[in-house]
Amino acid sequence: MLAWLVSAALAQTPAELADQLTGRKQGPERTAAERAAVFAQVIESTVPGLSSDDANAKSQSQSLLERVVFHAGRPGGEADRQAAVAALLPLAAKPGARFCRQQLLLELRLLGRADAVAGLVALLADGDEVVAQSARMALESNPTPEAGRALIEALDKAPADRRVAFINALGHRREAAALAPLAKLIADPQAAGAALAALAQIATPEAIDALVRARQGATGAARAAAENALLVAAGRRADQGDAAGAGKLFDDLYRNAASQDVRLAGLRGWALASGEKALPALLDLLAKDAPEARVAARLARNLAGGNVAAAYGDKLTGLAEPVQITLCGALQERGDKAALPGLRALAGKADAPAGGRAAAVTALGALGGVSEVELLLPLESGPDPVGGATRQALTRLGGPEVTSFLLKQVATGDAARRTHHGGAARLGAGQRGAAGAGRGAEGAG
């Protein structure tokens, strides 16, 4: 009734009010009561469409509701946000079509603050389980401490079959205040996995201590779950800028984890957290006949430090073929020309494994220049995989000096070499837009 009186007093149609609440038109100054009434009127007008089986009506109402909520949540629109929340909550609590109630609660996920918490808590006990779930998700997204406390209280009261949902919500929020109840639930077989995962997301020093205690004395699946949680927590610490704390956790997992996968992930995390300080240990691991060698090789791609590429490159010729292939690929992706001497040494080493040489040649094609052409030319007529990799590398090498060098070779090589060098020069020139060089190569061929 109040909404109708406000609308009539301002001589505005529902469409005009909707335009104002979505920001399309400027509305008049309103008292708090008028603002509340207008929001209630416009938001309630979407309920019939949201409850309808008619797809077009449902879509139009959903679009209007979303636009009203988006505008109400704008910076500087706190009064509108509060009015929208006050309108949404009673409509979401009212029995009705599930889709309509879900949509209203979805909008409360976006707008809800402390003013929405009590209403959302009441809906946790709704008879429609989907609506209760939507209310929990709205609390999970609510950024206020009041919402966190409400979820902790709800966890304490929740029946066993619903605890995991509240645990997950607290973990998603990284709710540090939930540490004690979550740590207690590690002893509950039904909730232990979710509790460990939530503590890993929280990743405060106290949460990590709880995870360390959970690992002590654990065996089998329980130990594996605790170690996976510690791995996630270490990653969170690294993301938060705590390189020393993360490195310590990763190193412990590398040395002591029961699972090889966790140990290798710990090695990688420790190296990335340590940066160039980890380089000597990683270089030593390259020569190991163990999975750690491949992990150490892959780290050449993104380990921080100005000396990394050269140091890794110097090790190439003495490694096993699979490690050579992995390391050449990592150095190619790193894109640091300091690796070129090591790549050249491996590519030109006649008694080195063919797969390793081919990988080095491919990397030279990506990183090198005219100096590599002289090295590669004698290799192109050899058997695959080195010969094929060489021909592709020569095609990929760019720059005016490379094109000029290849064109000179066209005039002096045999027929097969003239054909390849001419094609390589044409393609290289075409990639750089040097049409003239391409025509010269074609004529010489």
State pLDDT tens for residues 262-284: 999 999 999 999 999 999 999 99
Record the pTM: 0.84
- In tens, the pLDDT along 288-330 reads 999 999 999 999 999 999 999 999 999 999 999 999 999 999 9
CA dihedral for 307, 310, 316, 317, sign (positive or negative):
negative
- In tens, the pLDDT along 141-178 reads 999 999 999 999 999 999 999 999 999 999 999 999 99
CB 438 within 8 A of CB 430: yes
Banded model confidence at residue 184, pLDDT cuts 50, 70, 90: very high
Q: Find the range with the poorest average confidence among 49-53, 144-148, 233-237, 372-376.
A: 372-376
CB atoms under 10 Å from CB of 27, counted, come to 17
Task: Give the pLDDT of residue 12.
Answer: 83
| Pick from 147, 192, 206: nearest CA to 172 | 147
